[in-house]
Structure 1
Amino acid sequence: MPFLDGGKMIACLFSGGKDSTLALHRVMESGRNVDLLISMVSKNDYSYMFHKPNVMLTRLQAQAMGIKHEFFNTEGEKEAELAELEAAIVGSGATAVITGATASEYQKKRIDRICEEHGIEHIAPLWQIDPVEELNEISDRFEAIITRVAAEGLDDTFLGKRIDSNMIRRLQALHDKYGINMTFEGGEAESFVLDAPLFKRRIQISGAHIEHNLDEGTYVIEGAILVDKQSV
């Protein structure tokens, strides 16, 4: 039932990746109700703001959590995409919006501006979180996989692999060697969550393949279904 949070209509900018999913969990586990998941579908593979790989599968994640979900299209061009994001947020009727921003001033300041101009509360529970702390929580509580790599040291051996303790050690080594952001806030990689505490069912991948574009690799999920959590 919507509007349980003191009359607020809370929406979450939701890419299906680890950050937005963890931010959503943090807010809901604090006792607040979330009414809507907003997923931006970008035509640009290199959007400054939005995930591209597998974003259409956010509908399964929303279904697994029983939360209303809407797609909004964006050309994904720098700055212009902000107007499209603003239209989505304001058009949704939200009075508070959750984001998974962790370290990107570019993203947070722009969403702060949108929210301030329209009297909307910006909830960013992961802002300036310690990267290792976040990854450990993801490893312990979520089943999240890497779906895109785009930085030195990140190769195909990461694609489709779960973020677990071994993955965290590998990312720490790359951070020490190349200085990559371990939570991928600089666009080094992207992720997708298959299972989490709020999921009543988990996502099972039925088919996937790897695509390459210049120095990037993407794990494209061709098919996926919701299954009972006890299913292997």
Structure 2
Amino acid sequence: MRFLLSWSGGKDACMCLDTLIKQGHEVVCLITTASKEIGTTFGHGEKREMIRAQAESLDIPVHFIEVEMNTYTETFIQDVNMLKERCQVDAIAFGDLYLPGHREWGEAVAEKTGLKAVYPLWMKQAEAESSLYHFVNSGYQALIIRTKNELGLEKWLGQTIDKKFADELSNTEICPMGEAGEYHTFVYDGPLFKKKITINPGEVVAQETTKRLEIDSFSLTGK
């Protein structure tokens, strides 16, 4: 099947892509929502050029859906309908794991566009811990770029997800995969990446409910 893939730039979206490719499907376009007012990505607050770097490294086009909060769903459907015809796709994939509300939204959107909604990573909440260890061993490299306040995770900002991180989360009440937004990531290398994204991290910015790592600069290097 030919897919559009909802792409945040983080580990879940990356593992969704990896799973689809291993199943023999073709991902023909990454779709990323971006704030019309601010310009950064809607989900993680990432600079668009970082997402473009991932798309270049993966050799898959990316389309930014320009959204505003009060018309988010309508704009998403409009752009997916346009991409459906332009890219001749059969389905749209999402990297959500176990939150029913997220899946219900995606399935409703897909139904209005005539596409099949697919959730390759869907699991029980209890499986989240093993899923994080699976990512750690997958060969993909993800930088922790945002954490919720009051969870004690800010010390991990700018660090790459590894076994030590997974071990620490396994002893807490925090979802190991950060499914409720406890932390966000940016994948910069891995098996499907034709180039590595080398990142120079900047300062940590405190926001209302989170702390976010600024990226000073980055470069693409051959592998």
2:31 to 38, 59, 67: 38
Q: How does 1:82-101 map to 2 (within 5 A)?
A: 82-93=73-84, 94-101=89-96
Describe the shift of the 1:166–1:207 C-alpha distance in structure 2 as closer, same or farther (beyond 3 A): closer
Q: Which digits, 9 at most, give the CA deviation of each residue in 1:38-97, with x for residues without a partner?
A: 11113589xxx73323454111111011111111111234xx312222122212114311
**Identity percentage of aligned residues:** 24
Contact 1:38 1:70 in 2 (8 A): yes
| Distance in 2 between residues matched to 1:76 and 1:134, nearest whole Å | 31
Partner of 1:24: 17
| Distance in 1 between residues matched to 2:111 and 2:210, nearest whole Å | 36
| Distance in 2 between residues matched to 1:214 and 1:114, nearest whole Å | 30
SS of 1:128's equivalent? coil
Shift of 1:172: 1.5
Q: Counterpart of 1:145 in structure 2: which amino acid?
A: L
1:211 to 205, 216, 223: 205
Contact 1:135 1:183 in 2 (8 A): yes
Shift of 1:191: 0.7
What TM-score do the two structures reach when normalised by structure 2? 0.88
Q: Counterpart of 1:153 in structure 2: which amino acid?
A: L
| Distance in 1 between residues matched to 2:129 and 2:36, nearest whole Å | 32
Deviates more, 1:36-45 or 1:24-33: 36-45
1:156 to 145, 154, 157: 154
Deviates more, 1:96-105 or 1:152-161: 152-161
Partner of 2:216: 222
Contact 1:138 1:144 in 2 (8 A): no
Q: Counterpart of 1:31 in structure 2: which amino acid?
A: G
Shift of 1:151: 4.4
* Structure 1: gaps of 5 or more residues: none
Shift of 1:190: 0.7
| Distance in 2 between residues matched to 1:86 and 1:222, nearest whole Å | 34
1:128 to 94, 101, 123: 123
Q: How does 1:1-232 map to 2 (within 5 A)?
A: 5=1, 9-42=2-35, 50-77=43-70, 80-93=71-84, 94-128=89-123, 130-140=127-137, 141-175=139-173, 180-229=174-223
Shift of 1:115: 1.1
Describe the shift of the 1:148–1:43 C-alpha distance in structure 2 as closer, same or farther (beyond 3 A): farther
Q: Counterpart of 1:136 in structure 2: which amino acid?
A: Y
CA RMSD of aligned residues (A): 1.9
Contact 2:158 2:201 in 1 (8 A): no
Describe the shift of the 1:204–1:136 C-alpha distance in structure 2 as closer, same or farther (beyond 3 A): same
Contact 1:43 1:76 in 2 (8 A): no
Q: Counterpart of 1:182 in structure 2: which amino acid?
A: P
Q: Counterpart of 1:125 in structure 2: which amino acid?
A: P
SS of 1:126's equivalent? coil
| Distance in 2 between residues matched to 1:112 and 1:55, nearest whole Å | 26
| Distance in 1 between residues matched to 2:159 and 2:5, nearest whole Å | 26
SS of 1:91's equivalent? helix
What TM-score do the two structures reach when normalised by structure 1? 0.85
